[in-house]
Structure 1
Amino acid sequence: MIQSMTGFGKDVIQLPSKKITVELKSLNSKNLDINARIPSSYREKELELRNLIASGLVRGKIDFSLYVEVTGETSNTQLNIGVLRGYMEQLRAANATPIGADQEVELLKMAVRMPDALKVEREEIDPEEYQIIKNAVIKALEEINIFRDQEGAALEKDFVERIAAISELLKKVVEIDPERVKGVRSRLEKAVDDLKAEVDENRFEQELIYYIEKFDITEEKVRLSNHLDYFIESINSGDSNGKKLGFISQEIGREINTIGSKSNYAPMQQLVVQMKDELEKIKEQLLNVL
């Protein structure tokens, strides 16, 4: 069963004085790329959280967000009174006219927005709270993997239908191949007749066989059929391997292109174009497979 790289997972924990929200969003990428947005107080745990996410998602462009919202009455952000008073004195001095109560309030608003007017007291990480956060990350990982499985099931259905379409087109190629060979032979014979030249029949037959063999697509038909079967077999395997499916799709494309270049027959070339169209749609979707 295949798995998509697209997904979203979220978990929200309400503590007595805090609300913790963990969000995970993933998109397709060749490798694992984790972009983490976490509060500064948890920076020392970032590597551990990254490793936890990497073990659960393996590949993709991952956006990880951790929000900690204080909902209680206490806060670790305090006014820096000494700095604030200094700003107020400077602002009063800069005002040439006497200051009323309303202006004093406005000056205070300006002072609070100045650098270092607020100070944040660093809190030590609470082990119990951190374990809650880890559990929330694990739950978000479970949710995002469920999302990926559902997306993967939709992709798998689409792949099976398109591979079946290519198989049906290949059957039509096999059906019209004898007619194609006859057409090539008749065109060559007509070209020789138009020259009105005498030729050695045995020699001509040998050259004709050699020329027709150059356009023989028997091997390509067999290999293409095998690649299509292998693609379905890989989809039904126990692991999700988008890179492997990508390699198989390249081999499928190589055989289709060779059949097209050798066909020299308009009805067969039309079938080849249809096969290429189905394969391109498969390749586009494969970019999103884990």
Structure 2
Amino acid sequence: MIASMTGFANVTRPIAGGNVGGTISFEIKSVNSRFLDLSFRFPDELRTLEMPLRELLGKELIRGKVECRAGWALKASDAAETLDTDRLQRLLKLAQEVQDFSADSGSLNTADILRWPGVVQSAELDWTALLPEFHIMAAEAIKELKIVRDREGARLAELIKTRTAAMRTLVAHAEPLIPTAQRAFADKARAKLIEVMGSAEDERIRQELTLYAVRTDVAEELGRLKVHLDEVDRVVSTRGQAGKRLDFLMQELNREANTLGSKSVSTEISGIAMELKLLVEQIREQVQ
């Protein structure tokens, strides 16, 4: 079964490192593209993930414009900020020395101490330790993306088959109309030629009518339409790269529909040719 190039996956994990909690996440989304186009939106701490992920994505995906995002949402706990007691002791000792040197100097209050650089330490995550977890999350997200793309591909295949079935119905409707339309066209052409040439037995009239019959014979076009439609159904039911093959088949179907329209000798058959072209275009939009 064909796979779609459109999909989205997200993996989120809770974290608890030291005095900091929250979540880390990895997100991947994919849209249509003729080639594999990768982009990464990572914070500086996670830039080292890019190269191994490029290799992994190159193995797992063939086409699509793929964007990866990684990040975090931190939630401070009650102990998210701590006092650096060594620095605090040094600060208090220096403050006491200042007071001993000058009795007029003011003493430090609590607010002054808390504002002093380095006394209050904010807890930070160890991103290096989290890199392996991000690797695991990325692999899980890529796996989920492939599942989503396969599921979307199955729906796409059904849509395409619905349209190929509609095209078969149109071809089946056109086939019995051809002989009647050709006879009616030949009768009109014969009458016109007799009017111009003056004799129904004129060899030139027979030659012209034979030429008209050849020019308006669409049996081969209808046959090729059915063959191409069978091939489309086969391709969308087969796993593997199908985009280029389907694009080629759409060109062939469109060519046969155009020929059918140009050879048409009745408005009804011309209408069928137009409907066939419309369905071909609808499939083409899905497979590009």
Q: TM-score range by the shorter chain?
A: 0.7 to 0.9
Q: Deviations over 1:184-240 (max 9, x none)?
A: 211111102333623643332122112221222122111111101111111111224
1:40 and 1:281 map into 2 onto residues whose CA distance is 44
Within the candidate set 8, 12, 28, 1:24 is matched to 28
1:191-270 equivalence runs, <5 A: 191-195=192-196, 197-198=198-199, 200-270=201-271
Q: TM-score, normalised by structure 2?
A: 0.77
Is 1:3 the counterpart of 2:13? The answer is: no
Within the candidate set 48, 51, 71, 1:47 is matched to 51
Query: Given that residues 173 and 268 in structure 1 are in contact (C-alpha distance below 8 angstroms), is that contact kept between their aligned partners in structure 2?
Result: yes
SS in 1 for 2:260: helix
The 1:132–1:124 alpha-carbon spacing in structure 2 relative to 1, beyond 3 Å, is closer
In the alignment, residue 2 of structure 1 is paired with which amino acid? I
Query: Given that residues 37 and 63 in structure 2 are in contact (C-alpha distance below 8 angstroms), is that contact kept between their aligned partners in structure 1?
Result: yes
Percent pairwise identity? 30
Query: Given that residues 41 and 123 in structure 1 are in contact (C-alpha distance below 8 angstroms), is that contact kept between their aligned partners in structure 2?
Result: no
Kindly state the Cα deviation for residue 285 of structure 1 after the two structures are TM-superposed: 1.2
1:237 and 1:161 map into 2 onto residues whose CA distance is 17
Query: Given that residues 43 and 70 in structure 2 are in contact (C-alpha distance below 8 angstroms), is that contact kept between their aligned partners in structure 1?
Result: yes
Count of matched residue pairs: 245
SS in 2 for 1:12: strand
The 1:236–1:57 alpha-carbon spacing in structure 2 relative to 1, beyond 3 Å, is same
SS in 1 for 2:2: coil
Tell me which moved more, 192-201 or 38-47.
192-201
Which residue in 2 is equivalent to 1:115? none
Which residue in 2 is equivalent to 1:61? 65
Q: TM-score, normalised by structure 1?
A: 0.77
2:227 and 2:259 map into 1 onto residues whose CA distance is 15
Query: Given that residues 39 and 68 in structure 1 are in contact (C-alpha distance below 8 angstroms), is that contact kept between their aligned partners in structure 2?
Result: no
Query: Given that residues 41 and 122 in structure 1 are in contact (C-alpha distance below 8 angstroms), is that contact kept between their aligned partners in structure 2?
Result: no
The 1:227–1:160 alpha-carbon spacing in structure 2 relative to 1, beyond 3 Å, is same
Which residue in 1 is equivalent to 2:181? 180
SS in 2 for 1:274: helix
Identify unmatched segments of 5+ residues in structure 2. Answer: 82-110, 112-123
Kindly state the Cα deviation for residue 57 of structure 1 after the two structures are TM-superposed: 2.5
Query: Given that residues 184 and 212 in structure 1 are in contact (C-alpha distance below 8 angstroms), is that contact kept between their aligned partners in structure 2?
Result: no
In the alignment, residue 278 of structure 1 is paired with which amino acid? L
Query: Given that residues 5 and 30 in structure 2 are in contact (C-alpha distance below 8 angstroms), is that contact kept between their aligned partners in structure 1?
Result: yes
Q: Deviations over 1:121-158 (max 9, x none)?
A: 997723xx222111101111121122112211211111
1:185 and 1:156 map into 2 onto residues whose CA distance is 43
Tell me which moved more, 14-23 or 276-285.
14-23
Tell me which moved more, 240-249 or 65-74.
65-74
Which residue in 2 is equivalent to 1:116? none
Q: Deviations over 1:69-104 (max 9, x none)?
A: 4446669xxxxxxxxxxxxxxxxxxxxxxxxxxxxx
The 1:71–1:152 alpha-carbon spacing in structure 2 relative to 1, beyond 3 Å, is same
Query: Given that residues 31 and 66 in structure 2 are in contact (C-alpha distance below 8 angstroms), is that contact kept between their aligned partners in structure 1?
Result: yes
SS in 1 for 2:16: coil
Identify unmatched segments of 5+ residues in structure 1. Answer: 76-104, 106-120
1:70 and 1:30 map into 2 onto residues whose CA distance is 38
Which residue in 1 is equivalent to 2:128? 125
Larger of the two Rg values belongs to structure: 2
SS in 1 for 2:53: helix
